[in-house]
Structure 1
Amino acid sequence: QYISEVAVNWGSWSIGEATVRLMKLALSDPDISYLHVISGQDWITQNVDDLYQRFENDTKIYMTYEKASEVKKSGEPIIWWQKYYFNYDQINRRTFFGKFYHR
């Protein structure tokens, strides 16, 4: 199913927001018992029926999370990366200013 409630920008929170909305939509269907969240770089190379069989009786949760306020990247709080470096929801990278700002 395709929905377009969120304008998704590379490297921005909009990716997470769209993912959460899609998960909520999927989980509202009682026939859906689990989800696979993959990105374009994680394209499925296995037959879908084989993939289904692999996870049919697998109850393990493979997704983990950490609070952004407690994680550092290159010595900086990772929340700064979202706030200052990957704020593509606020500044359009395709404008002259956006290209200058993000360089």
Structure 2
Amino acid sequence: MNSFNATTSQQAAKAPKAACPNDHRLDAFMELETEVLDLMNMSAITSDIVLDFFSQPEAREGKYVVFRISEDFRDRLCFAVANVSNRADALATNYMTAFCGEVRS
């Protein structure tokens, strides 16, 4: 274990527990598993779309690279990026909710 991890672990052990109403954090965090996996899958899909598209430029004009994108592809790309962003925001919110022991319905 490096010194950073040892120090961090020691500090965490000494730190007072957060003032949360319930101590059901493990169950709450386990509920986040689906959201984490969904976010990971959607980010992989988005990454594949972007990397595949940008690896095949239409042309080069000086220092610029030209890409032609269909309206359908643009819509799918915008959806994928927005979806990942929304999922990440929801996960952050739900993480903080779970940390304080609040049960989601």
Q: Same fold (TM over 0.5)?
A: no
Hey, which of these two has a bigger chunk of helix by percent?
2
TM-score relative to the length of structure 2: 0.27
Indicate the structure whose relative CO is greater, using CA pairs within 8 Å and at least 6 residues apart. Answer: 2
CA radius of gyration, larger in: 2
TM-score relative to the length of structure 1: 0.27
